[in-house]
């Protein structure tokens, strides 16, 4: 951690951010000390080169297909589930993440394609494909991917069995254990089950999104068609994997084994598991909403009733039952996925097993003493220089401490903060409530439209309003995605602003799992810009920024100007390069700007974790553009934008990817790094990640990603540097 001149102390000695690859501090995956890395023999790396399927859908297009690029990203995650260097519980977790990712892909992206087709859209996308052509490719790839996720899941479960972690079948248990399971079922499971039969008096029930269900076939009178009944598996109310008498069992297997208890007097002919995915990409007329909070709550209720877009069933499900479910859910045959199980691998993320020997070694982030050498407090530290943190290697506790001290400090007059994905940590909410109760002006800009976090954000909004905070729900037609806090404090020389700008959400849980960057500063010009931002967000005041790039107002034009400046430097024979790291690159205009830079001779190096629609290394188009994708134990989430500027590099960081939605339909903040030392820290971070081998893939001109060979890991380097 690089600190100010009056350096904040750390409880662990922390060297300069971003140890260089020439002098790394490598450790085993997430190890806390280099010594343990030497003691532990690394698992062998995969011998054969690994590739993803091509993301080229239209060979004539200058752009890669967005949906295929996303599937290639999920394929890279799936490779981690197969990597012999990862412990078995982590392999299972990666497979579960792949399943969860694919669920969201269907709920949003595939649902969106269906909606385009239903609306009669015949306009090709940026890559030249019609919606129906994209859907055909997506269906082919997702059928194959679900099979591969299942295989990886079963392989991880078999490996766990070799270590004594076994998920048993009820019919494999001895008589005494089965009796214990039945007792548990009757006492703890059956009371929350509701059998729903379908007959002339009982219509086919509504099947909620991502619900896991049992299709129960019941015998009727001789010669009549059997009855169909549905029993919802109460995942969420109960764990998917239950521990009964020391035995791990799948919840659906326990219920199926005792299904006769729900249908006494009826003969059960057959039982099959199935799962439904629905469209959750709801829309609403925001401009017509008198009460945005009430409108969002209504939209959340309507989300449950979106059209079905996928049906997953067991491979041995009878054809007549498949036809019945297909008809009731209004699906095409191509939207039915026959699987061997278990269905819904995302539920296996939280396997109830505590086996540190089968997981990544625990890692404790560095916690800074931000009160300074004389314990004068965090504001005194920041008055002498900025503090830069790299999460999760530097603990998010430091940001919570910043807010908690502000809430208690009698000289603090106001706290203003944007909140996108809040999580459920009580310290952040507690700090804001304490500040409001202490009479400070607290302004919380809470984004109610943060997909899948809407309900939690509504709950936060109400709690803060009750505490006396000013709660603002966002700007009309835009999502507020910026990660910014401003604290106004009375000091001897007058009022002073203290600012936090980050790349990640104010969510302590994800801050332990995602890599992000945070800057704490008292720079007066940045403080003035952030004050302009909040006045614009809360009062719709016109804003003029000296340093910040703010979407949708100045970010796109600012980035384009920075790229054009590199082109001018290259044409004049001066040093010209672009080094950028972000999550997704899909905006056609930004891609075309990078193509122009490449054709002018600018070296462009991009680290893009997920979707990339740019085609690198194409003759005459993008010969000087290289694209890497970095995965690992932690989700790479930071955004860095660096420009050579003729030998005087400029570096920016913030909340925005290069996507149309980020640049045009969201409030985003991208800040310059003004301190020379921290500017070099950012470049060190990028360079270390660029040289990563352990989790990196290289995108080729053919649209395929190739896995890098080697064990040098950027994430291990950063973790080891903090622990050295």
What is d(CA 568, CA 572) in angstroms, rounded to the nearest whole number? 6
Give how far Cα 481 sits from Cα of 169, 371, 387, 517, 550, Å.
46, 30, 23, 15, 11
Residues 6+ apart with CB under 8 A from 377: 371, 405, 409
Question: For this structure, is 481 an active site residue?
Answer: yes
Tell me which H or E stretch contains 713: none
Q: Three-state DSSP class for 183? A: helix
Give how far Cα 678 sits from Cα of 334, 486, 541, Å.
52, 20, 32
What is d(CA 52, CA 703) in angstroms, rounded to the nearest whole number? 9
What is d(CA 443, CA 465) in angstroms, rounded to the nearest whole number? 10
Tell me which H or E stretch contains 227: strand 227-232
Cα radius of gyration (the chain): 27
Contact between 451 and 108 (Cβ < 8 Å): yes
User: Residue 365: which of 639, 680, 89, 720 has the closest Cα?
Assistant: 720
What is d(CA 261, CA 657) in angstroms, rounded to the nearest whole number? 53
Q: Based on the number of CB atoms within 10 Å of its own CB, is 50 exposed (0-12), middle (13-18) or buried (19 or more)?
A: middle
User: Residue 651: which of 625, 627, 677, 683 has the closest Cα?
Assistant: 683
φ and ψ of 411, to 5 deg: -85, -10
What is d(CA 530, CA 534) in angstroms, rounded to the nearest whole number? 6
* Alpha-helical regions (H) of 162-266: 175-184, 251-257
Give how far Cα 427 sits from Cα of 431, 575, 661, Å.
6, 47, 31
* DSSP sequence for 289-309: -SSHHHHHHHHHHHHTTPPEE
What is d(CA 515, CA 634) in angstroms, rounded to the nearest whole number? 6
HSE-up of 279 (CA within 13 Å, CB side)?
21
Q: Three-state DSSP class for 208? A: coil
Give how far Cα 189 sits from Cα of 183, 233, 235, 263, Å.
10, 10, 11, 15
What is d(CA 584, CA 607) in angstroms, rounded to the nearest whole number? 9
Catalytic residue (choose from 272, 401, 481, 691): 481
DSSP letter assigned to residue 188: I
What is d(CA 454, CA 293) in angstroms, rounded to the nearest whole number? 10
Tell me which H or E stretch contains 492: none
Tell me which H or E stretch contains 250: strand 247-250
Contact between 604 and 666 (Cβ < 8 Å): no
What is d(CA 537, CA 444) in angstroms, rounded to the nearest whole number? 11
Residues 6+ apart with CB under 8 A from 321: 215, 217, 228, 270, 272
φ and ψ of 43, to 5 deg: -70, 150
Find the angle CA(476)-CA(477)-CA(480) to the nearest 5 degrees.
80
Residue 184 CA, distance from chain mean position: 36
Beta bridge partners of 277: 310
DSSP letter assigned to residue 707: E
What is d(CA 428, CA 400) in angstroms, rounded to the nearest whole number? 6
Q: Based on the number of CB atoms within 10 Å of its own CB, is 202 exposed (0-12), middle (13-18) or buried (19 or more)?
A: exposed
Active-site residue list: 481
């Amino acid at each position: 951690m690089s600190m100010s001149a009056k350096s904040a102390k750390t409880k662990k000695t922390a060297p300069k951010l971003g140890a260089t690859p020439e002098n790394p501090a490598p450790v085993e995956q997430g190890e806390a000390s280099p010594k343990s890395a030497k003691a532990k023999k690394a698992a062998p790396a995969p011998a054969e080169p690994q590739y993803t399927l091509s993301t080229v859908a239209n060979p004539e297009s200058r752009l890669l297909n967005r949906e295929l690029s996303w599937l290639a990203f999920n394929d890279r995650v799936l490779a981690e589930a197969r990597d012999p260097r990862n412990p078995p519980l982590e392999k299972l977790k990666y497979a579960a993440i792949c399943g969860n990712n694919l669920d969201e892909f269907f709920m949003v992206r595939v649902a969106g394609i269906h909606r385009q087709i239903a609306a009669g859209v015949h306009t090709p996308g940026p890559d030249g494909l019609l919606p129906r052509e994209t859907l055909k490719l997506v269906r082919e790839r997702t059928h194959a991917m679900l099979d591969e996720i299942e295989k990886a899941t079963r392989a991880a479960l078999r490996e766990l069995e070799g270590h004594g972690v076994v998920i048993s079948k009820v019919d494999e248990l001895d008589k005494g254990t089965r009796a214990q399971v039945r007792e548990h079922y009757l006492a703890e499971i059956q009371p929350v089950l509701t059998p729903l039969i379908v007959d002339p008096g009982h219509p086919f029930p509504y099947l909620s999104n991502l619900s896991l269900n049992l299709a129960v076939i019941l015998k009727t009178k001789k010669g009549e068609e059997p009855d169909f009944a549905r029993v919802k598996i109460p995942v969420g109310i109960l764990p998917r994997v239950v521990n009964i008498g020391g035995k791990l069992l799948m919840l659906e297997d326990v219920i199926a084994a005792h299904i006769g208890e729900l249908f006494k007097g009826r003969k059960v002919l057959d039982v099959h598991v199935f799962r439904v995915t629905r469209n959750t990409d709801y829309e609403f007329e925001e401009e017509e909403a008198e009460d945005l909070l009430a409108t969002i709550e209504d939209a959340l209720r309507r989300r449950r009733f979106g059209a079905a877009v996928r049906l997953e069933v067991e491979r041995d499900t009878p054809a007549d039952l498949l036809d019945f479910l297909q008809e009731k859910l209004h699906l095409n045959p191509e939207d039915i996925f026959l699987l061997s199980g278990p269905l819904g691998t995302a539920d296996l993320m939280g396997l109830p097993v505590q086996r540190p020997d089968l997981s990544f070694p625990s890692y404790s982030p560095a916690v800074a003493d931000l009160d300074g050498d004389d314990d004068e407090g965090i504001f005194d530290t920041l008055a002498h220089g900025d503090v830069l943190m790299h999460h999760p290697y530097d603990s998010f506790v430091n940001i919570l401490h910043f807010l908690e001290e502000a809430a208690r400090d009698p000289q603090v007059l106001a706290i203003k903060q944007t909140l996108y994905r809040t999580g459920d940590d009580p310290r952040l909410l507690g700090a804001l409530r304490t500040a409001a109760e202490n009479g400070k002006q607290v302004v919380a800009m809470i984004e109610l439209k943060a997909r899948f976090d809407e309900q939690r954000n509504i709950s936060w909004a109400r709690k803060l309003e009750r505490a006396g905070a000013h709660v603002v729900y966002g700007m009309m037609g835009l999502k507020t995605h910026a990660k910014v806090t401003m604290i106004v404090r009375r000091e001897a020389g007058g009022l002073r602003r203290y600012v936090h700008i980050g790349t990640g959400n104010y969510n302590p849980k994800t801050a332990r799992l995602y890599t992000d960057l945070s800057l704490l500063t008292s720079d007066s010009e940045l403080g003035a810009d952030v004050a302009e931002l909040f006045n614009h967000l809360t009062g719709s005041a016109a804003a003029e920024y000296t340093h910040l790039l703010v979407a949708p107002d100045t970010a796109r034009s600012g980035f384009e100007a920075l790229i054009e400046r590199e082109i001018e430097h290259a044409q004049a024979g001066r040093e010209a390069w672009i080094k950028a790291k972000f999550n997704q690159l899909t905006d056609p205009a930004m891609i075309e700007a990078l193509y122009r830079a490449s054709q002018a001779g600018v070296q462009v190096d991009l680290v893009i974790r997920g979707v990339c629609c740019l085609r690198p290394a194409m003759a005459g188009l993008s010969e000087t553009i290289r694209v890497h994708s970095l995965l690992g134990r932690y989700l790479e989430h930071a955004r860095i934008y660096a420009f050579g500027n003729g030998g005087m590099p400029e570096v920016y960081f913030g909340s925005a990817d290069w996507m149309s939605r980020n640049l045009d339909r969201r409030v985003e903040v991208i800040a310059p790094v003004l301190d020379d030392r921290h500017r070099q820290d950012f470049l060190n971070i990028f360079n270390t990640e660029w040289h990563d081998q352990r989790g990196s893939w290289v995108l080729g001109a053919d649209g395929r990603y190739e896995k890098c060979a080697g064990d040098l890991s950027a994430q291990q380097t950063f973790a080891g540097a903090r622990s050295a």
